Amino acid sequence: MTDISASPAGKSKGSSLLELDSRTRRRNAAERRFQIYGIVAIAIALAALLMLLVSIFSGGSSAFRQTFATFDMTLPAEQLDPEGNRDPAEMARVTTIGYQNVLRAGLVAAVRDAGIVPDGVADADITGILSPEAAADLRNRVLANPDLIGTTVDIDALVHGRIDGYFKGRVTMESAVRDANITPERLQIAEAMVENGLMSTRFNWGFVTKPDASDQRPEAAGLGVALLGSLYMMLVVLVLAVPIGVAASIYLEEFAPKNRFTDVIEVNISNLAAVPSIVFGILGLAIFINFAHLPQSAPIVGGLVLTLMTVPTIIISTRASLRAVPPSIRDAALGVGASRMQSVFHHVLPLAMPGILTGTIIGLAQALGETAPLLLIGMVAFVRDYPDAPPEGLFDPASALPVQVYNWTQRADPAFVERASGAIIVLLAFLLVMNAIAIILRRRFERRW
Amino acid sequence: MNDMRIVERDVSTAEIKINARDVNVHYGTSHALKNVDIEILNNNVTAFIGPSGCGKSTFLRCLNRMNDTIPSAKVSGLIALDGEDIYDSKVDPVQLRAKVGMVFQKPNPFPKSIYDNVAYGPRIHGLTRSKAELDQVVETSLKKAALWNEVKDRLHSPGTGLSGGQQQRLCIARAVATSPEVLLMDEPCSALDPIATAQVEELIDELRNQFAVVIVTHSMQQAARVSQKTAFFHLGNLVEYGETGQIFTNPRDPRTESYISGKIG
Ligand SMILES: Nc1ncnc2c1ncn2[C@@H]1O[C@H](COP(=O)(O)OP(=O)(O)O)[C@@H](O)[C@H]1O
Ligand SMILES: [Mg+2]
């Protein structure tokens, strides 16, 4: 594009500076063209990003809102605590079915008291708006606080996913006619309840904190276990990959002799960074699960596999930033009698730190979004129990954010599509937090020389 | 070369600090330094002159084993500091470099505060026992480098924020702070303006009271101004070594003569 070949015809003696000669005109035109290419490329990239964000946020932001039925009811002692001792161990014998009956009775009473349904409507249509999960929530709440029995409490009950979908525009009266899970009558009751303040759609922390739920209960599904699983895996990667990667790079860059053997290692590290992630999954399955007998679906195994993937990335970027430190700094340190190790740790490493952090965060971000290797080591299992606190919790089954997204998109109910988009938003937020931490750390380390 | 002002010479009595015999340096297959024999005297400034690429820096770097950091460099021959072979397998180059300090061509202060720059050497060598003692070392070193008055109010601002000449004097202070016995300087003034150069030259003349100073320089005027002894290198050979006055006024070798008079270089 920049034609250097000198054509002597360009300049003629005595030509005016106020008039561009043809060569200058061509050069300026080429420069303008190049700038236009650049602007077009950036515009395309921005448009793609915008489309991505719009589609994710328009589809996923509703996952953070959920419809609840809110009403008051008295918890009957004779049904929920037949022995009357308020002893949680005894009370646990009352199953979710028992709570379901109580909850349904309370809802029917509240709705009929409000006088918003004609007398002809069957109780089953009123109770049908509740989520099966609502009774389990109530049971957990009572078992955690037995003194609630006999008192009048505010109930916040999850409603059925189709009702929730109706208020989010996913379900219509027409689709309800053909839908075995919902009837137009129930939708009408729900609308009447909203008008009377018995039902509302509002922000739902449960989406971020609750565990996953079964296919029939999209309204109850949350990201709690996946979020913890991803967090634990990131901890494992951070604790293992960063020290290993940085130490290996320092050794290779500052201490190792330059010979055939280190050349081979160097080439292999670059190749390792290009290996498809699923291969690391197979490796992890063979080594960590089949050979070392670590538990399946555990964050420790996921973390180890992701560590294998991340170490080459960290090594490559760390070596690049070590190499970018001016050699004069090493000379200066050695010149006053510092040992090689002192020169590296006192002078070179602090200067390389911003670059190392950038590489580390890129590696961690890749690891955070990785799905394929986790599928192979069983992280796709349906897990409803939260893992314990680390370190024991690292061996408990858990899920991971990207796997949860994949999992939800596989399910039949369209309510899960909304939740998958919501999970992507959480994943992006997780990434943003990590990047923000990296930027803050980098600011602290950044020095001029 | 008529304007050359040659300093009063008082070479004679000083003892030999560094004795080099038959030193050869190869970078891979290229023979950079050939059979160099030289005796460097204590309390004198010795200047290395010669055209670019003749091996001045290479030889200077042999004297504190900085060549060890270049994998392809192979040094042979004998270099003795106070009679001890510095290439003996028992010698740790780190200990040697505390005794033989170095100032580089381009000022290279650490990206730390002025104080930390000077204090770094004493710290890693454990030369001081208290903060007060360290403060004292920093102050005397900066004074020896003629920088104290300019920076005493901002010891904790970054050393990289100083001007080029100040940075180079900071590097000299840093080298002086470890109380070396020999100070090597590789073209210390080539990145400086004439005023800063004059300051550094004045400094070098004072430093020789305490050290043996070896300075590589491109400028023959500079060699004439600051040194007592001058060595002329050409194509890896030490062509001529003698008192500065003799080298500049009455060179014995025709190559020295033509270099001095500007015919090669
Ligand atoms: N690190 C190195 N690797 C290979 N050859 C080098 C290296 N440093 C210097 N040389 C070669 O050694 C010779 C002497 O260089 P040098 O000592 O730097 O010269 P001077 O300082 O006198 O200009 C030159 O031919 C140069 O190309
Ligand atoms: Mg040189």
Domain coordinates in residue numbering, chain A: 63-204, 224-445
Residue B151, Cβ density class (10 Å: 0-12 exposed, 13-18 middle, ≥19 buried): buried
| Ligand 1 centroid from CA B185, angstroms | 16
Residue B25: closest CA among B90, B94, B64, B72 = B72
With a cut of 60, say whether residue A83 has pLDDT above it.
Answer: yes
- Predicted ipTM of the assembly: 0.87
Whether omega for the bond prior to residue A391 falls within 30 degrees of 0, making it cis, is yes
Q: Which amino acid is it at B123?
A: R
CA distance A261 to A191: 74
- C-beta neighbour count of A164 within 10 angstroms: 26
For B111, the closest of A258, A336, A448 (CB atoms) is A448
Cα B219 to averaged position of ligand 1 atoms, centre (Å) = 18
Cβ of residue B221 closer than 8 Å to a chain A Cβ: no
Distance A58 CA to ligand 1 centre (A): 65
Q: What is the pLDDT of residue A441?
A: 83
Facing residues of B240 across strands? B232
Structure tokens at A353: 């730190």
More confident residue, B199 or B140: B140
pTM of the model: 0.82
Q: How far is the CA of B265 from the centre of ligand 1 (A)?
A: 15
Looking at residues B224-235, what average pLDDT do you find? 93
Contacts with A360 (C-beta within 8 Å, 6 or more apart), sequence order: A241, A242, A245, A314, A317, A438
- Ion ligand 2 neighbours, Cβ < 5 Å: B 57
In a domain, B265, yes or no: no
Q: Compare CB distances from A332 to B96, B110, B178 and report the shortest one's residue.
A: B110
- The token duo for A58 is 């328009």
C-alpha A86/C-alpha A92 separation (Å) is 10
Of A326, A339, A346, the CB nearest to B94: A339
- Residue A440: the pLDDT is 87
* Residue A449: predicted pLDDT: 44
Interface of A with B (CB under 8 A): 257-258, 326, 328-339, 342, 346-347, 351, 447-449
Average pLDDT over residues A314-323: 94
* Residue B264, pLDDT score: 65
Q: Which of A258, A331, A342 sits opposite B108 (nearest CB)?
A: A331
**Is the separation of the CB atoms in A137 and A101 below 8 Å?**
no
Residue B2 has pLDDT above 50, yes or no: no
CB count in 10 Å sphere of residue B220: 21
Query: What is the Cα–Cα distance from B61 to B43, expressed in whole angstroms?
Result: 20
Reported confidence tier of residue B87, pLDDT bands at 50, 70, 90: very high
Per-residue pLDDT, averaged over A92-108, amounts to 89
Q: How far is the CA of B26 from the centre of ligand 1 (A)?
A: 10
Q: How many CB pairs under 8 A join A and B?
A: 69
CA distance A346 to chain B (A): 10
Nearest ligand atom owner, CA of B53: 1
Do B101 and A335 count as a contact with CB atoms less than 8 A apart?
A: yes
Beta carbons of A158 and A219 less than 8 angstroms apart = yes
Bridge-based pairing state of the strands B212-216 and B182-186: parallel
Per-residue confidence (pLDDT) for residue B13, from 0 to 100? 62
Which H/E stretch holds residue A264?
A: helix A260-273
B45 part of a folded domain: yes
Our count of domains for chain B comes to 1
Q: Is residue B66 within 6 Å of ligand 1 at its C-beta? A: no
Residue among B107, B111, B106 nearest B158 (CA): B111
Q: Which strands make up the sheet holding B237-243, listed edge to edge?
A: B84-85, B73-81, B16-27, B30-41, B237-243, B229-234, B45-49, B212-216, B182-186, B100-103
CATH number at residue B13: 3.40.50.300
Burial of B125 (0-12, 13-18, 19+ CB in 10 A): middle
Distance CA B183, CA B101 (A): 5
Residue in A336, A346, A348 to test binding to B, most B beta-carbons within 10 Å: A336
Enumerate the β-bridge partners of residue A154. A72
Mean pLDDT for A378-402 is 84
Q: Locate A379 and state its tokens.
A: 């992280």
Model pLDDT for residues A242-267, shown as the tens digit of each residue: 999 999 999 999 898 888 998 999 89
pLDDT band for A447, please (50, 70, 90 cuts): low
**Residues of chain B found within 8 Å of residue A253, distances taken between Cβ atoms:** none
Question: Three-state SS for A84?
Answer: coil
Strands B229-234 and B45-49: parallel
Strand partners, B27: B30, B73
Radius of gyration (C-alpha) of chain B in whole angstroms: 18
Interface contact A338-B124, CB threshold 8 A: yes
Confidence category of residue A383, pLDDT binned at 50, 70, 90 = confident
Name chain B contacts of A258, Cβ cutoff 8 Å. 71
- DSSP per-residue string spanning A334-351: HHTT--HHHIIIIIIHHH
Judge whether residue B29 has pLDDT over 70.
yes
What's the confidence (pLDDT) of residue B1? 41
Q: Considering the domain boundaries, does residue B44 fall inside one?
A: yes
> Mutate which of B64, B110, B214 to disrupt the A interface (most A C-beta within 10 Å)?
B110
Q: Which residue's CA is minimally distant from atom 27 of ligand 1?
A: B53
Least confident of A151-160, A380-389, B198-207: A380-389
Under a CB-based contact definition with an 8 Å cutoff, are residues B27 and B72 in contact? yes
Give the whole-angstrom CA distance, residue A146 versus residue A122: 32
> What are the tens digits of pLDDT across the range B57-85?
999 999 999 998 888 999 999 999 999 99
What CA–CA distance (Å, rounded) separates B35 from A272? 49
Bigger pLDDT: A306 vs A397: A306
Chain B, nearest residue to A259 by Cα: B71
Within a 10 A sphere around the Cβ of B186, how many other Cβ atoms? 22
H/E stretch holding A409: helix A401-409
CATH number of A224-445: 1.10.3720.10
Which among B30, B57, B58, B69 is the best mutation to test ligand 1's pocket, defined by most ligand atoms within 8 Å of the CB?
B58
Instruction: Return the pLDDT at B101.
Output: 92
pLDDT value for B6: 53
Q: At A10, phi and psi to the nearest 5? A: -55, -50
Domain span at B118 = 5-260
Residue A205 structure tokens:
């922390």
B168 has a pLDDT exceeding 80: yes
